[in-house]
Homo-oligomer: A and B are copies of this chain.
Amino acid sequence: MRRPTIADIAERVGVSKGAVSFALNGRPGVGEATRARILQVAKEMNWRPHSAARALGGARAEAVGLVIARPASTLGVEPFFAQLLSGLQAGLSARSVALHLLIVEDAEAEMEVYREWASAHRVDGFVMVDLKVRDPRIEVLEELGAPAVVLGGPGRHGSLSSVWADDREAMLSVLEYLAALGHRRIAHVAGLPAFRHTQRRIRALRDSARRLELVDAVSVPTDFSDAEGAAATRTLLSRPRRPTAIVYDSDVMALAGLGVAGEMGVRVPDEVSIVAFDDSVLTRIAHPSITALSRDTFAFGRQLAEVMLQVIDEPGLRRDVKTATPRLVVRESTAAPGAWQDD
């Protein structure tokens, strides 16, 4: 048999569709007795709302959109991303809001999908990740007027809300720790330079070079892949005056770097110290275990969900949430540089 509609219920109870709609949505305009009868019949007939029909009328979609312009494989490879996703889902599912996920080729396609989903009321809001320098997606989301939360910041995300961590401060804490150990030649294997947080880390290194008396403070950009992380490490360690410490923008790259050091016979931490942005099981079980900037990524994702839900509830709202700054967890991969390395 066909799925029951409110018209069927109305007919059976002997009232109008309107009355049924009121009753089912707990709205005034229908007596208690009638309401009870309607609810009863609806249950008997096993009725369920048809979200598409509701959406046509402009109701909530009970879903949040996440469009990612990255190769799909990163989803599974980067612990950071996987953790973030699960935190996000955890936060959303507490309110039975689904995550509408799509991976696309590039930012162009991503914006097109924003337009489609927004104009079709397919989702109630968007979570935007991988904030770039002068990101055109911001404008699109603003123009669409859809609730949106940007992962990353602060600043430069227009009227959109955001959730961010202080990358600058985190980078400084690493540099100060390394400088205190006596390191003066510190290299930075950065992520994609187009990302705002990458820029912020690069700038933090450059800015503190003088204060910390670093004689060499270079940032090498990569695409965040383990391959480029390994290549950058190889280049750095092949220099006549190689760095005594390398800071990696992700745990995956740090691990790759550690592997390269092993291959090249450069001992860690005796000859080179290694620090990773982002902590995960990878840094913990590596051998030697890797000193890393640790944060609760799952909680980060949950905060993202929380802000998203708030912004959906109150469309005018603009929140700007700074999450806890990642703190350094010292493990076996860092030590004072050997004496022979001093200038």
Residues of A within 8 A of B (CB): 3, 48-53, 55-56, 63, 72-77, 79, 82-87, 89-90, 93, 96, 98-104, 115-116, 119-122, 255, 281-282, 285-287, 297-298
Inter-chain CA distance A256–B82, complex, in Å, is 20
Inter-chain CA distance A166–B79, complex, in Å, is 28
Known: A52-B121, A285-B286. A101 touches B103 (CB 8 A): no
Contacts of A297 in B (CB 8 A): 76
Known: A119-B3, A287-B287. A93 touches B104 (CB 8 A): yes
- Report whether B52 and A72 are in contact in the complex, using a CB–CB cutoff of 8 Å: no
Inter-chain CA distance A101–B63, complex, in Å, is 9
Inter-chain CA distance A83–B75, complex, in Å, is 7
- Report whether A103 and B89 are in contact in the complex, using a CB–CB cutoff of 8 Å: yes
Inter-chain CA distance A282–B287, complex, in Å, is 12
Inter-chain CA distance A116–B50, complex, in Å, is 8
Contacts of A287 in B (CB 8 A): 285, 287
Contacts of A50 in B (CB 8 A): 56, 119-121
- Report whether B116 and A48 are in contact in the complex, using a CB–CB cutoff of 8 Å: yes
